[in-house]
Structure 1
């Protein structure tokens, strides 16, 4: 098996702002695994909050190139278990590698990933589209630029309720709110009351990740469901979220790929938690992988490729929230 690493700097259509940062470009690593005439692709983007960079991921993968390239017919689960000890300090790199291996494995089997996993795609949820923090005028303009059935609105400003009220005047779409750790307990409980009146479906990660007492208080008193993101990183975190959150947002780059991501979703379901998968401004490479998890999800945020000025791959397509799979096997991805 041959390992190929490609570094990209994805340009965004608009400056993307959340409560803690703004970006115009998203560095991304694409991993390709080649074997027996087939190629599998995976992706992980850099993220300062999690202290990960593309050069760092490439260094960590290069260190185990020999081990990776010696792999022959292991299942994705066996491959992940073999590689995890070497990359447990860099889940982002592990994600890109695991994603590529799952893709390659399914292509060799002549199946799409969801077929390999025996998932039915009959009731796939629609994806939301994210509106980053900006002036109210710019946020309204972004929303009008792409009519969509569900919007995920980034908040964490001094005029959060005014923003949502202004956006509501221009659409009947479902709203989801992501404060990215930007609120206090009191703000969350009070904001939830007003936001529910404005047609908000749920709140995502309103408090800082480690404020477990605060999460418990919000869980008890919020009139809207609360979904964990920064508080739910790896598999062990799912159980901790029970009785603190109503659901979990699994990010593949944070947990180490599709293989552990599927286990996290299964565990969340057993605990009665709502399931969601989110993206990290990936191209269609990473987004196409997420799409194969849809049958197991209540919610999904997989609009990363829509936020880009120019994509680097083809795969799944999105139309007014609905996902259409590629005719190709695996994740269905081809680099442009």
Structure 2
């Protein structure tokens, strides 16, 4: 076997600032892995996230340390035990999936056990801002099926109410990004229910969400930062009604699919989520999104430009990726 590894980082400017409870960003800084073998190239993209102790330099170093094993034919299954879940493993895992598809001619979705790969409808994210600014941002998006609102500070109820006033029919998800206290949540959840919010994502800090056990929220709660791999699923099932599965947290499509299967067994609803990144990062997440209650794969829509070829969007509808992109 003759396989070669190429790895690099790329910067993709955002169309505008992306603001959440923890801060703002103006670009997507991603890592890209390319594995070449027998004339085929498999690619994977990931986003190192400081919230989880990751940096671009650190994740690149992890991948470089895998070079001898990867170029000697490392498999996806063996990869799972070599480095922990995170951005580096995600980029490598997705590149291996893509390479396998290119070499075998079997699409990744079929290899993943899916009968087909259907288009999915994605949320569109409104960054944290003043109620008035969020309402103005939402106004031209009012016909989208899902809007996801970033919250996490004084005025959260006003923010959601302002968006609901200009988007009376769209389904709303609010994302606290760990920015609420339990008292905030108890106070706000009934008001969010009155405003027909469908889901509250990660209201409390991961590791401080045991308070949710035994509390009957009037709105479905969804774990994000609290859920990475199957290891956290049992605790999440006691605290949340849904989980957000992201490839960067799970460490790739291989573990993400296992998380999906186990979550369904536990009766949890699913969101297929993403970091802000290009279509190359979203393409494998399309497999995770099949049958999910919510897809949140709008990363490319937040960029000033996407890679070519990219995913095709028709409003909120995302079509399956062409093989030239991934899978």
Give the alignment's TM-score, normalised by structure 2: 0.93
1:102 aligns with 2:97: yes
- Quick one: distance in 1 between partners of 2:41 and 2:291? 26
For residue 21 of structure 1, the aligned residue among 16, 19, 23 is 23
1:209 aligns with 2:206: yes
Match of 2:157?
Answer: 161
Match of 2:41?
Answer: 39
State the 1:123 CA deviation. Answer: 6.7
Retained in 1: the 8 A contact 2:145–2:171?
A: yes
- Quick one: distance in 2 between partners of 1:138 and 1:329? 39
Does the residue aligned with 1:119 lie in a helix, a strand or coil? coil
State the 1:6 CA deviation. Answer: 2.2
Match of 2:10?
Answer: 8
For residue 150 of structure 1, the aligned residue among 146, 150, 170 is 146
Retained in 2: the 8 A contact 1:126–1:300?
A: yes
Within 5 Å, which residues of 2 pair with 1:1-336? 1-71=3-73, 79-88=75-84, 91-121=86-116, 125-146=120-141, 147-171=143-167, 172-217=169-214, 220-328=215-323, 331-332=326-327
Does the residue aligned with 2:50 lie in a helix, a strand or coil? coil
- Quick one: distance in 2 between partners of 1:57 and 1:263? 23
- Quick one: distance in 2 between partners of 1:114 and 1:82? 20
State the 1:296 CA deviation. Answer: 4.1
- Quick one: distance in 2 between partners of 1:83 and 1:12? 32
State the 1:314 CA deviation. Answer: 2.3
Deviations 1:74-101 (A, max 9, x none): 7xxxx2332233322x621000000111
Q: How many residues align?
A: 323
State the 1:326 CA deviation. Answer: 3.2
State the 1:177 CA deviation. Answer: 0.6
Does the residue aligned with 1:41 lie in a helix, a strand or coil? strand
State the 1:141 CA deviation. Answer: 3.0
Aligned Cα root-mean-square deviation (Å):
1.9
Question: Could you list the runs of 5+ residues in structure 1 that have no partner in the other structure?
Answer: none
State the 1:125 CA deviation. Answer: 4.6
State the 1:144 CA deviation. Answer: 3.5
Deviations 1:124-156 (A, max 9, x none): 652101111022333223223545220010000
Deviations 1:141-190 (A, max 9, x none): 32235452200100002001101111112112110010011112222122
Question: Could you list the runs of 5+ residues in structure 2 that have no partner in the other structure?
Answer: none
Cα 1:246–1:282 change in 2 (3 A) is same
Deviations 1:25-51 (A, max 9, x none): 221101111111111111111211112
Retained in 1: the 8 A contact 2:176–2:201?
A: yes
Does the residue aligned with 2:102 lie in a helix, a strand or coil? helix
- Quick one: distance in 1 between partners of 2:188 and 2:299? 27
Bigger Cα displacement from structure 2, 143-152 vs 206-215: 143-152
Does the residue aligned with 1:275 lie in a helix, a strand or coil? strand
- Quick one: distance in 1 between partners of 2:52 and 2:308? 25
Retained in 1: the 8 A contact 2:118–2:319?
A: no
